[in-house]
């Protein structure tokens, strides 16, 4: 495996269906998998995440394509960190991307690049994300000069329940530790990620109900598979002695 694509973690779990032990690794995303990862991100994150659904993004091909074009560009920018999970079968070739985790390094006083969006669904999404950011700003609250901002994580449905999301969070801790960042947080809007953050010891520091968020922006959160509230949760990063 090339040193350009660091392997952060190797772990084994018993697969529920077969009962066999499955070996996985979490590593930096190779450039040649960018298109595959972005397509999977759209399928298993954008189409299933509560705020995207409320904004109507999954129902608009134009909006989905706008997300795709944006993600293909933004994942190339410095400071954007994408990790993937794949089978660890002793071979260098990656046969299947099982999941991915994305973060963006933000620096105090250096605003993110402004992206211009055309579809109404994405504009509505940006409005709601801006409300969430104003509701709780981790950099301001904890007086940090830099953070790794959560940009989403997903696991293919057939591999869920194996602890892969939790393993992504453990690796995020290591990356923050390497950068001297004491707090890592994000808005948690799915039961799967709620369980993963609970397992990893994250704390709830803020909450906004989807009913209130929907009322403010004129949208409806009506998927019974989603939790009633969006929670901002943080991991406190312990320094490596």
* Mean pLDDT, range 203-227, rounded to an integer: 96
- Give phi and psi for 138, each to the nearest 5: -60, -35
The answer to the question of residue 2 being in a domain is no
The mean of the pLDDT values for the chain is: 93
pLDDT, position 186: 97
The answer to the question of residue 156 being in a domain is yes
Domain span including residue 171: 7-110+120-236
**Backbone Cα Rg of the chain:** 18
To which H or E segment does residue 183 belong? Answer: strand 183-188
Give residue-wise pLDDT tens across range 19-78.
789 999 999 999 999 999 999 999 999 999 999 999 999 999 999 999 999 999 999 999
Question: Does the pLDDT of residue 2 top 50, yes or no?
Answer: no
Question: Does the pLDDT of residue 4 top 70, yes or no?
Answer: no
Helices 34-41 and 61-74: crossing angle, nearest 10°? 140
Q: Choose the weakest-confidence range: 37-46, 74-83, 183-192, 232-241.
A: 232-241
Tokens 């002695």 appear where? 241
The answer to the question of residue 164 being in a domain is yes
Question: Does the pLDDT of residue 3 top 50, yes or no?
Answer: no
Question: Does the pLDDT of residue 235 top 50, yes or no?
Answer: yes
Question: Does the pLDDT of residue 239 top 80, yes or no?
Answer: no
176: CATH: 3.40.630.30
Residue 122 in 3-state DSSP? helix
The answer to the question of residue 205 being in a domain is yes
The answer to the question of residue 125 being in a domain is yes
State the Cα–Cα distance between residues 219 and 212, nearest whole angstrom. Answer: 10
Give residue-wise pLDDT tens across range 5-21.
799 999 999 877 677 89
The answer to the question of residue 1 being in a domain is no
> Looking at the whole model, is its pTM more than 0.85?
yes
Share of the chain above pLDDT 90, in %: 85
Q: Into how many domains does the chain fold?
A: 1
The answer to the question of residue 115 being in a domain is no
The answer to the question of residue 203 being in a domain is yes
């Amino acid at each position: 495996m090339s040193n350009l694509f660091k392997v952060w973690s190797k772990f084994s779990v018993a697969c529920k269906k077969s009962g066999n032990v499955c070996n996985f690794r979490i590593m930096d995303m190779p450039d040649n998998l960018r298109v595959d990862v972005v397509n999977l991100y759209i399928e298993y994150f954008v189409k299933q995440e509560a705020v995207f659904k409320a904004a109507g993004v999954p129902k608009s091909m134009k909006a989905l394509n706008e997300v795709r074009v944006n993600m293909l560009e933004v994942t190339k920018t410095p400071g954007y960190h994408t990790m993937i999970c794949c089978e660890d079968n002793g071979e260098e070739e990656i046969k299947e991307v099982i999941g991915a985790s994305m973060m963006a390094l933000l620096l105090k006083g250096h605003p993110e690049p402004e992206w211009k969006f055309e579809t109404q669904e994405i504009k509505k999404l940006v409005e709601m994300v801006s409300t969430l950011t104003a509701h709780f700003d981790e950099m301001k609250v904890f007086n940090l000069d830099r953070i790794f901002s959560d940009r989403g994580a997903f696991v293919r449905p057939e591999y869920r329940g194996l602890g892969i999301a939790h393993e992504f969070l453990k690796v995020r801790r290591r990356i923050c530790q390497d950068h001297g960042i004491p707090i890592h947080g994000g808005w948690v809007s799915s039961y799967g990620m709620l369980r993963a953050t609970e397992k990893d010891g994250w704390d709830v520091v803020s909450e906004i109900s989807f009913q209130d968020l929907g009322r403010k922006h004129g949208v409806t959160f009506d998927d019974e598979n989603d939790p009633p509230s969006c929670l901002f949760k943080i991991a406190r990063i312990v320094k490596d002695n």
